[in-house]
C-alpha cells in the first residue's frame, strides 16, 4: 500500500486552503483530500461563515494568492454594522435605528464569501496543482499511529484504505479525531444559530429616504456590510453573496430567546415581525432556499495537534462564536501552524505543544468576548463601548502577531510573555465589565444616532502598522499596543459609567486628544482621551 505524505479529511474552506498552502510551501508533498460532497457544489452552498475579517482576508488574498478571485468573483465587505432599535419596534424608516459602523471602508480589504463558489475554485486549483481530491467519498473508519495513520473510505468504487504520515481533520462538525479520541471539552457557551438563504438582494440602502442618513456612508453601500440587527440576547445578520443570494441568520442565547419560536422559518418570521418589522417586511416575500438549525455551536477540544502526526483545523478543533467572524481567522492560524510542522518535518513534541498552547490561548481569549454577554446586545452604549475595545484588542494583539508572521516563532512568543499577560489581564477585566452590564438585558438607544468607526484615529494607526510594520519590530509594536489598550480601557469604562448615570455614549470622532510618535515603528500612535 502506498503511503501518502498528508491525508486531509474535509474539502471545505479549512481543508482546501491547507492543501493549497502545503503545496505552495512544498511542491513535493503528496496530499490527498477526502470529501463526502461531490464537486462542483452549488453556489450559495448551505454553510455558515461567509464573512472574513482582517486575518482571514490577509491569509486568503496575500498568503494563498487568491486576491484576484476575491476581487473578481466575490464581494467586498464594508465592515461590521449594527442597528439598535431602542424600546419601540421600527416599522418604516431605518434612520430611526442607532447605527454603529464605518462611514468609509477602513484600510485592509475584507470580503463576503459565497462559500460554494469559493470552495469550487479552491478545489479546482488544488487538483490542477497536483492534489488528489476524493469527492463523493465517506470516511468509514480511521486509526492513528505515529507516522502511519489509516483511513478506510467508501465511494462509488467500493472501499479502500489510505495510509499517511500526517492526518489532518478538517471535517468540520463531523470532527473525526475530536469525537473519536474523546477530546471534547465543554465550551461553556451554549448559544444557538439558525440561518438560511433567500434569492436576490436586500437593498438596505433604500430602507430610509432621510438625506442625512443617506449621506453618512459617502456613496459606499451599506448592503456590502455584515449588517446586524440586535436586541437583548440575540443578533440577526444580513450578508450579500456574489451569486445574488442573501444570507440571513439569527444567533441567540436561549436564556433570552425561546428556541421554539425560531426553529421553523414561518415562526421565525413572526418573531422577527415583533422585533424588527422593517426587516421582516423585506423577507416576507422571499422563500428560503435552505434552513439550518445549529444548537450549542461553540466547541472546544483538549488537544489539537499531536507529535504522532495528527492535527485539526477549523470547526473540527475549536469554534467560539459567529460574531466578528473569527472562524476564518482560526483556520488561517491553525493552517499556519500545521504547514510549519509538516513542511519542516518537525518531530519535537515541544513544538507541537507550543503551537497548541498558543492556539488554545487565542481561542480562550476570543471566547471571552461572547460568553455571558448576549443579554447586552440591545444596549447601544454597551455595544459602542464593546466594539471599540474588541476591535482595538483584535488589531493590537492577535492581528499584530499574525501579520508580522511571529505567531509561529515560539522564541518570540516566549519573549513576549509580559505583554501577553498584560493584554490578557486587560481583556479579562473589560469582558467582566461587559458581562456585568449585559446581565441587565436592557434596551438602550433608538435615537437615530451614528457611531462612526472610521472617525477613530487609533483604528487607522493600528491597521497602518499591520500593513507597514516590520516583523523585526513586532515586539516593540506589541508592547506599545498593549500600553495603548490600557488607555483604551479607561475610556471604555468611562463610557459605561456615564451610561449608567444616564449620559449617552459620545460620538466617536474627537475622542483622541493627542498623538505620540512611535519612533521605533515610524507611525503615529494616537493617545486615547476621554
What is the C-alpha to C-alpha distance for residues 406 and 346, in angstroms, rounded to an integer?
A: 18
Report residue 73 as a C-alpha cell.
468573483
Same fold, 1-73+115-182+305-347 and 75-112+190-294: no
Specify whether the CB–CB gap between 279 and 202 falls below 8 A.
no
Specify whether the CB–CB gap between 64 and 181 falls below 8 A.
no
Q: Which of 52, 87, 80 is nearest to 66 (CA)?
A: 52
Q: Classify strands 300-301 and 184-185 as parallel, antiparallel or unpaired.
A: antiparallel
Over 80: is that where the pLDDT of 443 sits?
yes
Report residue 436 as a C-alpha cell.
456585568
Q: pLDDT tens-digit profile of 139-172?
A: 999 999 999 999 999 999 999 999 999 999 999 9
Q: Which of 54, 22, 89 is nearest to 281 (CA)?
A: 89
Q: Quick one: pLDDT at residue 527?
A: 36
Instruction: Region of 130 please: left (phi>0), alpha (psi -120 to 50) or beta.
Output: left
Q: How many CB atoms lie within 10 A of CB 447?
A: 12
% of the chain beyond a pLDDT of 90: 93
3-state secondary structure of 525: strand
% of the chain beyond a pLDDT of 70: 95
Q: How many CB atoms lie within 10 A of CB 357?
A: 14
Q: pLDDT tens-digit profile of 21-47?
A: 999 999 999 999 999 999 999 875 666
Q: pLDDT tens-digit profile of 57-102?
A: 999 999 999 999 999 999 999 999 999 999 999 999 999 999 999 9
What single-letter DSSP state applies at residue 39? S
Report residue 186 as a C-alpha cell.
465543554
Q: Give just the sign of the alpha carbon dihedral 495, 188, 309, 410.
A: positive
Report residue 350 as a C-alpha cell.
515541544
- Which fold is adopted by the domain 75-112+190-294? D-Amino Acid Oxidase; Chain A, domain 2 (3.30.9)
Q: How many CB atoms lie within 10 A of CB 501?
A: 7
Q: Which of 106, 113, 102 is nearest to 54 (CA)?
A: 106
Query: Rg (Cα) of the chain, in Å, rounded?
Result: 23
Report residue 385 as a C-alpha cell.
463601548
Mean pLDDT over the full length of the chain:
94
Please identify which residue in the block is written with the cell numbers 441567540.
Answer: 252
What mean pLDDT do residues 273-278 have? Answer: 98
End-to-end CA distance of the chain, in Å?
68
Q: Which of 487, 319, 314 is nearest to 396 (CA)?
A: 487
Burial of 76 (0-12, 13-18, 19+ CB in 10 A): middle
Specify whether the CB–CB gap between 298 and 187 falls below 8 A.
yes
The domain ranges of the chain are 1-73+115-182+305-347, 75-112+190-294, 374-528
- Which fold is adopted by the domain 1-73+115-182+305-347? FAD/NAD(P)-binding domain (3.50.50)
Over 50: is that where the pLDDT of 11 sits?
yes
Q: Quick one: pLDDT at residue 1?
A: 80
Q: pLDDT tens-digit profile of 490-522?
A: 999 999 999 999 999 999 996 644 433 343 333
Q: Give just the sign of the alpha carbon dihedral 511, 517, 520, 521.
A: positive
What is the C-alpha to C-alpha distance for residues 199 and 245, in angstroms, rounded to an integer?
A: 4
Report residue 150 as a C-alpha cell.
489509516
Specify whether the CB–CB gap between 59 and 158 falls below 8 A.
no
Q: 167: which strand partners?
A: 7, 310
Q: Quick one: pLDDT at residue 116?
A: 93
What mean pLDDT do residues 300-307 have? Answer: 98
Q: Angle at CA 297, nearest 5°, toward 293 and 298?
A: 175
Q: Which of 295, 288, 298, 285 is nearest to 257 (CA)?
A: 295
Q: Quick one: pLDDT at residue 8?
A: 98
Amino acid at each position: 500500500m502506498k503511503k501518502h505524505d498528508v491525508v486531509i479529511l474535509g474539502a471545505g474552506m479549512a481543508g482546501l486552503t491547507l492543501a493549497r498552502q502545503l503545496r505552495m510551501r512544498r511542491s513535493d508533498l503528496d496530499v490527498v483530500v477526502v470529501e463526502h460532497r461531490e464537486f462542483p457544489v452549488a453556489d450559495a452552498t448551505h454553510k455558515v461563515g461567509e464573512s472574513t475579517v482582517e486575518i482571514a482576508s490577509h491569509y486568503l488574498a496575500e498568503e494563498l494568492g487568491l486576491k484576484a478571485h476575491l476581487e473578481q468573483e466575490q464581494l467586498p465587505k464594508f465592515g461590521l454594522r449594527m442597528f439598535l432599535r431602542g424600546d419601540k419596534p421600527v416599522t418604516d424608516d431605518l434612520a430611526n435605528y442607532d447605527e454603529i459602523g464605518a462611514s468609509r471602508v477602513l484600510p485592509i480589504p475584507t470580503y463576503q464569501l459565497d462559500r460554494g463558489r469559493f470552495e469550487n475554485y479552491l478545489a479546482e486549483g488544488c487538483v490542477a496543482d497536483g492534489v488528489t481530491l476524493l469527492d463523493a467519498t465517506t470516511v468509514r473508519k480511521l486509526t492513528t499511529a505515529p507516522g502511519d495513520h489509516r483511513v478506510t473510505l467508501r465511494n462509488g468504487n467500493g472501499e479502500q484504505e489510505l495510509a499517511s504520515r500526517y492526518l489532518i481533520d478538517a471535517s468540520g462538525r463531523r470532527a473525526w479525531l475530536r469525537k473519536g479520541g474523546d477530546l471534547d471539552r465543554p465550551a461553556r457557551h451554549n448559544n444557538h444559530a439558525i440561518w438560511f438563504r433567500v434569492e436576490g438582494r436586500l437593498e438596505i440602502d433604500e430602507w430610509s429616504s432621510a438625506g442625512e442618513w443617506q449621506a453618512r456612508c459617502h456613496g459606499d453601500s451599506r448592503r456590502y456590510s455584515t449588517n446586524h440587527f440586535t436586541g437583548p440576547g440575540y443578533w440577526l445578520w444580513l450578508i450579500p453573496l456574489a451569486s445574488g443570494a442573501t444570507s440571513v441568520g439569527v444567533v441567540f442565547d436561549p436564556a433570552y430567546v425561546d428556541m421554539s419560536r425560531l426553529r421553523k422559518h414561518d415562526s421565525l418570521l413572526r418573531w422577527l415581525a415583533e422585533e424588527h418589522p422593517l426587516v421582516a417586511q423585506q423577507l416576507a416575500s422571499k422563500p428560503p432556499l435552505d434552513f439550518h438549525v445549529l444548537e450549542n455551536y461553540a466547541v472546544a477540544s483538549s488537544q489539537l495537534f499531536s507529535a504522532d502526526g495528527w492535527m485539526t483545523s477549523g470547526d473540527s478543533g475549536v469554534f467560539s462564536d459567529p460574531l466578528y467572524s473569527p472562524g476564518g481567522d482560526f483556520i488561517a492560524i491553525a493552517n499556519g501552524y500545521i504547514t510549519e510542522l509538516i513542511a519542516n518535518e518537525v518531530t519535537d513534541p515541544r513544538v507541537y505543544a507550543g503551537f497548541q498552547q498558543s492556539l488554545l490561548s487565542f481561542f480562550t481569549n476570543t471566547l471571552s468576548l461572547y460568553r455571558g454577554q448576549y443579554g447586552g446586545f440591545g444596549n447601544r452604549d454597551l455595544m459602542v463601548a464593546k466594539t471599540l475595545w474588541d476591535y482595538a484588542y483584535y488589531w493590537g494583539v492577535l492581528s499584530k502577531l499574525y501579520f508580522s508572521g511571529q505567531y509561529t516563532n515560539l522564541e518570540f512568543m516566549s519573549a513576549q510573555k509580559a505583554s501577553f499577560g498584560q493584554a490578557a489581564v486587560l481583556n479579562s477585566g473589560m469582558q467582566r465589565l461587559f458581562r456585568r452590564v449585559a446581565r441587565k438585558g436592557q434596551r438602550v438607544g433608538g435615537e437615530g444616532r451614528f457611531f462612526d468607526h472610521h472617525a477613530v484615529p487609533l483604528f487607522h494607526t493600528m491597521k497602518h502598522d499591520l500593513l507597514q510594520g516590520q516583523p523585526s519590530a513586532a515586539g516593540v509594536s506589541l508592547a506599545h499596543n498593549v500600553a495603548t489598550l490600557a488607555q483604551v480601557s479607561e475610556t471604555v469604562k468611562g463610557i459605561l459609567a456615564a451610561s449608567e448615570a444616564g449620559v449617552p455614549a459620545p460620538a466617536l470622532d474627537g475622542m483622541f486628544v493627542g498623538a505620540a510618535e512611535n519612533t521605533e515603528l515610524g507611525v503615529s500612535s494616537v493617545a486615547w482621551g476621554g
